[in-house]
Structure 1
Amino acid sequence: MFCSCKIISRVSFSVYSRRYVLKIFLNIKNSDSLRDVFNLYFIITTYFSCYLLGSIYSSPGLYSKTMTPTYDAHDGSPLSPTSAWFGDSALSEGNPGILAVSQPITSPEILAKMFKPQALLDKAKINQGWLDSSRSLMEQDVKENEALLLRFKYYSFFDLNPKYDAIRINQLYEQAKWAILLEEIECTEEEMMMFAALQYHINKLSIMTSENHLNNSDKEVDEVDAALSDLEITLEGGKTSTILGDITSIPELADYIKVFKPKKLTLKGYKQYWCTFKDTSISCYKSKEESSGTPAHQMNLRGCEVTPDVNISGQKFNIKLLIPVAEGMNEIWLRCDNEKQYAHWMAACRLASKGKTMADSSYNLEVQNILSFLKMQHLNPDPQLIPEQITTDINPECLVSPRYLKKYKNKQITARILEAHQNVAQMSLIEAKMRFIQAWQSLPEFGITHFIARFQGGKKEELIGIAYNRLIRMDASTGDAIKTWRFSNMKQWNVNWEIKMVTVEFADEVRLSFICTEVDCKVVHEFIGGYIFLSTRAKDQNESLDEEMFYKLTSGWV
């Protein structure tokens, strides 16, 4: 018997695909254990089978009654597999910490038989299978032993903390790993080798961690000491290597940047300008000496699309900007000279697109994340530093997507993976998974869910992309953004359930109407409402989750 995801309090699933076994623990009612639990939904596939093992139980969550986090201070997994945690489910007999351990792909046949989208339209068709969160599985004709896949639906991960989110981090890592290997998201060759190296490193550490959990499943842990240790770290705060600047002034950037405006039937390339970045705008001058006068070009990046175009070996550090204007989007390319310059300007562009300035506290962290992401892609300059290893313990067919397997021989890929591994070899297991997730989030296509749509007044099918903060009208053949609308400018959205049309109204009398041709409009409605709901959450709010508001925004009725 399948129960509604709306009322289940604790459910255990086992997901099988040949030898690959992924056990996932869900806590649907309690928002403390999985802060973005409503990101988890089901999409029908032909590759995984989900079986309901549990029933409806009370849910104590990952916190004790005194709000003390009951997690392992070492790896972030739940402390003890007691019946208070899992009720009568099968997991009460095992170690819940094993849920934080990744299971490596052991056979290339698993990848070979799974669906891989060949075009953007294929990616859009994947989203046809999302089930309705407002109705039970039984109501949606899901039978016992039906093939289902568990995924995070919304790409907005609330308060992800390595200290107590080991299970959730592992779930996100698994989703990111499969997205990379199945080519659901594009990445460069250097990025692929970096992902493969991280995956190889995680596989090695996971085997050690799994053995450790099996050998120490009955060990006692002092919960008070663990909580006090974490409290001490929180109160002391992290040490910073930089001195805080004047918080009353907004930082600025000024440097020579190459600027390119691509136009049809033109052979003109990049032109160097002295560029200044103030607030959310970039001003371009012909020279530094003229920067006190009127700029040759000026662009406000608020609401723009920011896409990286980087090749480490080719020393290419480009930033692609799609700036919204009345008639569509203006495309501008910025070329930086080195990694440091690129990291600062890219971080500033990303913040400006959200309407934030470099005075925002996240700016320096964004710069460091970009530099760290680039560093992991560096090739080892000294091949002798790579230790001699038996290559039988590394299977490139399980670490790299088919596109690159066709391009290189296995020995070549193995050598490159081991070379890239030198950049991540010192990372802990949880750090490696977090870096994998962060690198996944840094990819240009991350967080965009595609749907095939026909816009009002249009005759051909196009793509509508939904991200955590915007709607994107896209060219179905190239994937280029035609127009972007920010949720922050949205006044309201409505659904005409009879003709299956979604209408979104924005500020300045902008109105967008479209019909989804190959998916129920309820799916699109849930994505919009879900992201609006998640945008209202903040770390300083209490731990309770307003479920009523969530269903009001996503169910389709008030």
Structure 2
Amino acid sequence: MLADGEIVGDGSWNLTIYVTDLNEKRTMVVKGDMHIGGVMLKLTESFGKEFKKDWSDHALWWPTRNKWLSRPKHTLDQYGVHADAALHFTPMHKPLRIQLPDLRFIDCKIDFSIDTFSAVIQLCKNLGIRHSEELSLCYPLEASHLKQNYQNLKEAKRIKNTQAPDTNTFIAATRGSSNSLDRSNGPCPATPPPPRSLSATPVASQQNGTLRRYGHHIYSTQSDGSSDGGYCGTPPRAASMDALDSLAELSLADSPIEPDSQSRESLLSPKSLLERARMNVGWLDSSLSIMEQYVREWDTLQLRFKFYSFFDLTPRAQDAPRLNQLYQQARWQILNQEVNCTEEEMMLFAALQLQIELQTLAGGSAEAADGYGASAGNASAPEDEIDAALCELQAQLEGGPPARQDITHVPELAGYLKYLRPKRFTLKAYKRGWISCRDGVLRIHGSQEAAARGEPPSCAVELRGAEVTPDAHPASGRYSIKLEVPSEDSMHEMWLKCENEDQYAEWVAACRLGSRGRSLADAQFASEAGSVRALLALQRPRPAAALSAHALPHNLQPENYLAPRYLKKLKSKFTQRLLESHANVKDLPLLEAKLQYIKTWQNLADYGQTLFVVRFMGHKKDEIIGIANNRIMRLDPHTGDHIKTWRFSNMKAWNVNWEIKHMMVQFEEDNIIFSVQSADCKVVHEFIGGYIFLSMRSKDANQTLDVELFHKLTGGWT
């Protein structure tokens, strides 16, 4: 039977497809058993010679289901596509604005159809950043997002995109929902916006040398008037889109001395642990595509180092982009008080920053960039890597402890120290005692003679699982170590006070090894103590400054070098203090200075703790957990003290109950169950699985990134 020239009654039906490149709808007669690849082929053939082009980068997107029909061998029936479905035929690679860790913005094309983890791998490859598994993308946050808990920003973004076109308000925040990150000012304009410069090469401003800002342009509705797509038709700038395909001319080994004022003002400074925890709501789901998380063309995302487990950090030229971006992220964390540091550490950071700026202005960064290009383009790169590896091995061997003749001897560290075990509602003073450390256990005796006679210790402390917080102030001669020791229900606090730097360095190293379940026989003891001594030496100011204030190439503004908490105290004497601290690092070349900055950052007490607001099962108040590269910590929301620590080495399993959004982590000693209040529970699951994945990396030069294993560990079995 024929009706209007079409066969009906044979199971065929009309499918409407919106072609974004042509800004028009096409209707096709299809059947449920037609493959997706066949649908796209039939669609492109219907364009005829008038619109002949390469359509290989296009795919079908289903807006109402928020998913790609990415498997060409699957049929319409297998995907559940029926006559009421409205599909889009759109490019998989789309323009996106990315903010780098150094706060610059770049415009690039990213594959919106693959999972975010794979998209970041491709992006980092184009940018020349090694070990892309350490980075991820996140939504940019605003100050209002730190004031209360949000759980699902991408869902709020979807709600915002489907609202009335003239809306410009945030979604009301309730538990289980969030306000939107979309900065759209309305629908897609009737006349497209003026074309912007889309060169992949950074466009320098004559005033400050930063990348030129184009502003935020996010268009949240389609050209055809519907609101389920979330993007516009092709604007007239499409002719210059090819410029986004390559980032080869963009070097990330250099950064402007100062970012533009708008980028600086957009930085968030958390005022409490709760606000720090709420900053982790913006991470994208690594297992979903960017498009599935309601990101659209020309939206802005941030590229950041997500996992604080950095592999093979060495000052090699080919790693210059990675070192620079990591230094920049550490720098802004410190200046924005995302991590705390002492006054001496703050001045060391300022001195290293000054040295990096001086080396950059002197052309040190240009040499690093040239070296990076040369190593990437000639056959000498492998030889350079081998030489560097041999030098590193030689340094490790020379710095290791001497070989012991008696392999049955268990080394011991002992000496007179002052110790304090604070108790609630009582004032206790430091006591002096003979303290020994052997096999990860601290033993306290009244005297050396009592220990030699074999008398039982007055106190024995198991270090395994303890939190070790160094607290050194070389200027005042105070060298203390804070220990938070696990017990059945909580962490007990204990303080050790050392007499000098050498004693302090050895005891910090011994406590750190003991907390990881290692003894003093470990080869890392000498190197750990050596790194503590080196860091203390850098914090000791030299009265004879290497530079004079008149020799500085620019006026020093304290706010560019100091965290706000130290501005008032150090502002009047800042220049002199900075020059005295700079004398310790004046001979460091550029990459060495950046690496030293990173190492100093890694030695901070708060380093590497990703915080979340959670609610433990059976409790009515919000608490905070911190996830580091080897443990989960339960923290006091007000003081930051450790209530309990669970090591990954004792973890048996971790999973999520997706129906009630509860996270359960099983350890050998107990299980913990909690709901995440300040982010989606998938984010916490991904951090745990991600750190397990990163710990499995080896120094095999031929190792390839096991993407499948990453998703297996972080996917949550969804």
Mark yes or no: TM-score above 0.5: yes
Does residue 21 (structure 1) correspond to residue 177 (structure 2)? The answer is: no
**Helix, strand or coil: the match of 1:238?**
helix
Task: Give the residue type in structure 2 aligned to 1:231.
Answer: I
Which residue does the alignment assign to 2:465?
Answer: 303
**Helix, strand or coil: the match of 1:414?**
helix
Work out whether residues 2 and 138 of structure 1, in 8 Å CA contact, stay in contact via their aligned partners in 2. Answer: no
Q: How does 1:210-289 map to 2 (within 5 A)?
A: 210-212=365-367, 223-225=378-380, 227-228=382-383, 230-232=385-387, 234-235=389-390, 237-238=393-394, 240=398, 244-246=402-404, 248=407, 249-289=409-449
Q: Distance in 1 between matches of 2:370 and 2:693?
A: 43
Which residue does the alignment assign to 1:463?
Answer: 624
Which residue does the alignment assign to 1:209?
Answer: 364
Task: Give the residue type in structure 2 aligned to 1:28.
Answer: I
Work out whether residues 13 and 53 of structure 1, in 8 Å CA contact, stay in contact via their aligned partners in 2. Answer: no
Cα 1:215–1:310 change in 2 (3 A) is closer
Q: Distance in 2 between matches of 1:435 and 1:11?
A: 38
**Helix, strand or coil: the match of 2:247?**
helix
Q: How does 1:144-543 map to 2 (within 5 A)?
A: 144-163=297-316, 164-207=318-361, 208-212=363-367, 223-225=378-380, 227-228=382-383, 230-232=385-387, 234-235=389-390, 237-238=393-394, 240=398, 244-246=402-404, 248=407, 249-291=409-451, 292-382=454-544, 386-390=547-551, 392-409=554-571, 411-508=572-669, 510-540=670-700, 542-543=702-703
Does residue 42 (structure 1) correspond to residue 203 (structure 2)? The answer is: no
Work out whether residues 102 and 203 of structure 1, in 8 Å CA contact, stay in contact via their aligned partners in 2. Answer: no
Q: Distance in 1 between matches of 2:613 and 2:417?
A: 38
Q: Distance in 1 between matches of 2:133 and 2:332?
A: 21
Q: Distance in 1 between matches of 2:349 and 2:93?
A: 33
Cα 1:225–1:136 change in 2 (3 A) is closer
Q: Distance in 2 between matches of 1:524 and 1:288?
A: 48
- CA shift for structure 1 position 184: 0.5
Task: Give the residue type in structure 1 aligned to 2:337.
Answer: E
Work out whether residues 632 and 648 of structure 2, in 8 Å CA contact, stay in contact via their aligned partners in 1. Answer: yes
- CA shift for structure 1 position 233: 5.4
- CA shift for structure 1 position 407: 2.9
Work out whether residues 274 and 287 of structure 1, in 8 Å CA contact, stay in contact via their aligned partners in 2. Answer: yes
Work out whether residues 46 and 148 of structure 1, in 8 Å CA contact, stay in contact via their aligned partners in 2. Answer: no
- CA shift for structure 1 position 396: 2.2
Task: Give the residue type in structure 1 aligned to 2:697.
Answer: R
Normalising by structure 2, report the TM-score: 0.66
Work out whether residues 253 and 369 of structure 2, in 8 Å CA contact, stay in contact via their aligned partners in 1. Answer: no
Q: Deviations over 1:120-174 (max 9, x none)?
A: 0100110111111111111101122323221111111122232242221112111
- CA shift for structure 1 position 516: 0.8
Q: Which protein has greater RCO, CA pairs closer than 8 Å, 6+ apart?
A: 1
Q: Distance in 1 between matches of 2:399 and 2:264?
A: 44
Q: Distance in 1 between matches of 2:460 and 2:372?
A: 62
Q: Distance in 1 between matches of 2:104 and 2:266?
A: 16
Work out whether residues 544 and 580 of structure 2, in 8 Å CA contact, stay in contact via their aligned partners in 1. Answer: no
Cα 1:537–1:286 change in 2 (3 A) is same
**Helix, strand or coil: the match of 2:600?**
helix
Higher alpha-carbon deviation: 166-175 or 395-404: 395-404
**Helix, strand or coil: the match of 1:192?**
helix
Q: Distance in 2 between matches of 1:344 and 1:429?
A: 30
Q: Deviations over 1:365-421 (max 9, x none)?
A: 1111111111111111335x5435245443322121222223333x52122111111
Q: Distance in 1 between matches of 2:199 and 2:650?
A: 44
Cα 1:22–1:421 change in 2 (3 A) is farther
Q: Whose radius of gyration is greater, 1 or 2?
A: 2
Match of 1:123 among 276, 279, 289: 276
- CA shift for structure 1 position 358: 2.0
Work out whether residues 97 and 298 of structure 2, in 8 Å CA contact, stay in contact via their aligned partners in 1. Answer: no
Q: Distance in 2 between matches of 1:30 and 1:112?
A: 26
Does residue 91 (structure 1) correspond to residue 247 (structure 2)? The answer is: yes
Q: Distance in 2 between matches of 1:536 and 1:215?
A: 33
Cα 1:338–1:321 change in 2 (3 A) is same
Which residue does the alignment assign to 1:73?
Answer: none
Q: Distance in 2 between matches of 1:254 and 1:303?
A: 21
Q: Distance in 1 between matches of 2:413 and 2:94?
A: 51
Cα 1:461–1:370 change in 2 (3 A) is same
Q: Distance in 1 between matches of 2:58 and 2:140?
A: 17
Work out whether residues 96 and 298 of structure 2, in 8 Å CA contact, stay in contact via their aligned partners in 1. Answer: no
Q: Distance in 2 between matches of 1:111 and 1:312?
A: 33
Task: Give the residue type in structure 2 aligned to 1:272.
Answer: R
Question: Aligned residue pairs: how many?
Answer: 518
- CA shift for structure 1 position 542: 4.6
Higher alpha-carbon deviation: 270-279 or 244-253: 244-253
Which residue does the alignment assign to 2:286?
Answer: 133
Q: Distance in 2 between matches of 1:489 and 1:2?
A: 47
Task: Give the residue type in structure 1 aligned to 2:256.
Answer: Q
**Helix, strand or coil: the match of 1:452?**
strand
Higher alpha-carbon deviation: 394-403 or 362-371: 394-403
Work out whether residues 20 and 103 of structure 1, in 8 Å CA contact, stay in contact via their aligned partners in 2. Answer: no
Q: Deviations over 1:194-237 (max 9, x none)?
A: 10111111112123134557899998999444543553454465
Q: How does 1:93-108 map to 2 (within 5 A)?
A: 94=249, 98-105=251-258
Normalising by structure 1, report the TM-score: 0.84
Cα 1:241–1:105 change in 2 (3 A) is same
**Helix, strand or coil: the match of 1:389?**
helix
Work out whether residues 365 and 590 of structure 2, in 8 Å CA contact, stay in contact via their aligned partners in 1. Answer: no
Task: Give the residue type in structure 2 aligned to 1:347.
Answer: A
Unaligned stretches of 5+ residues in structure 1: 55-85
- CA shift for structure 1 position 476: 0.8
Identity %: 41
- CA shift for structure 1 position 286: 0.4
Unaligned stretches of 5+ residues in structure 2: 1-56, 60-66, 71-91, 109-118, 143-180, 184-196, 201-241
Higher alpha-carbon deviation: 441-450 or 397-406: 397-406
Q: Distance in 1 between matches of 2:590 and 2:58?
A: 35
- CA shift for structure 1 position 434: 0.8
Task: Give the residue type in structure 1 aligned to 2:354.
Answer: Y
Q: Deviations over 1:449-494 (max 9, x none)?
A: 1101110111111101111111111111111111111111111112
Q: Distance in 1 between matches of 2:376 and 2:676?
A: 53
Cα 1:243–1:557 change in 2 (3 A) is closer
Cα 1:331–1:217 change in 2 (3 A) is closer
Q: Deviations over 1:496-532 (max 9, x none)?
A: 1111100111113x11000111211111110111111
Work out whether residues 98 and 300 of structure 2, in 8 Å CA contact, stay in contact via their aligned partners in 1. Answer: no
Does residue 114 (structure 1) correspond to residue 270 (structure 2)? The answer is: no
Q: Distance in 1 between matches of 2:500 and 2:272?
A: 33
Task: Give the residue type in structure 1 aligned to 2:475.
Answer: S
Q: Distance in 2 between matches of 1:214 and 1:440?
A: 24
